[in-house]
Chains A and B, each alone.
Chain A
Amino acid sequence: MSGIKDFIDNEVKNNDVVLFMKGTPGFPQCGFSGQVVQILDYVGVDYKGIDVLTSMELRQGIKEYSNWPTIPQLYVKGEFIGGCDIIREMFQAGELQALFEGKGVATKAA
């Protein structure tokens, strides 16, 4: 499992915004992942989507990495932010946009 943990660690630390999801941003395979994609696209932030369906090891590994049992999972500047419910609540409260701003991540309409 150390290999997959290093892979995840590397992705999370070398990309400002990373979404571990089922499917791809262009073709989400799960409604929860799709909701987060829509929100990130609306906010207009650049992010990297990583499809956990491509690897059983990755799908299990990300749950252990964050100690979080479900997917999707959003990371910003190395920090785990939350899953679908949390991202949606933060977005609706304007907190997600503020988080990106606070961390110096460019958005479309700041």
Chain B
Amino acid sequence: MSMKASMETKLQTAYAPEQLEVINESHLHAGHHHEDSGHHVMYDGTGETHFRVRIVSSAFEGMSRIDRHRSINALLADELKAGVHALALEPAAPGEKTRR
């Protein structure tokens, strides 16, 4: 299963979200130093290393921003260990303003 699919499954199961988008943004980071492959290797932008998660779920109601992020980071700890090194998160509860 791809990293994206495995994250989607976990997020879906854990939060039963109203909206969920897992976006692979790895291509946006081509040319920057790739974290785990040494300082002299430039990342070519392929693969599954940088993601953005947009999620709206009532599970986030009453949680602080930090707690929302900590919750998602913990859920996706395996993926973060297995090569995802940037995880931009946009969690919201229903009715809250989102970036779009």
Contacts and interface: CB of A to CB of B under 8 A. Distances in A.
Interface of A: 22, 29-32, 53, 67-70, 80-86, 89-90
A69 B73 contact: yes
B85 to A, nearest CB: 8
A53 B87 CA distance: 18
A85 B77 contact: no
Interface of B: 28-29, 32-33, 39, 65-66, 69-70, 73, 77, 80, 85-90
Given A32-B86, A84-B88, A67 B65 contact: no
A86 B34 CA distance: 23
Given A29-B32, A29-B33, A30-B32, A70 B87 contact: yes
B88 A85 contact: yes
B66 A86 contact: yes
A89 B54 CA distance: 14
Contacts of A68: 69-70, 73
Contacts of B69: 68, 82-83, 85-86
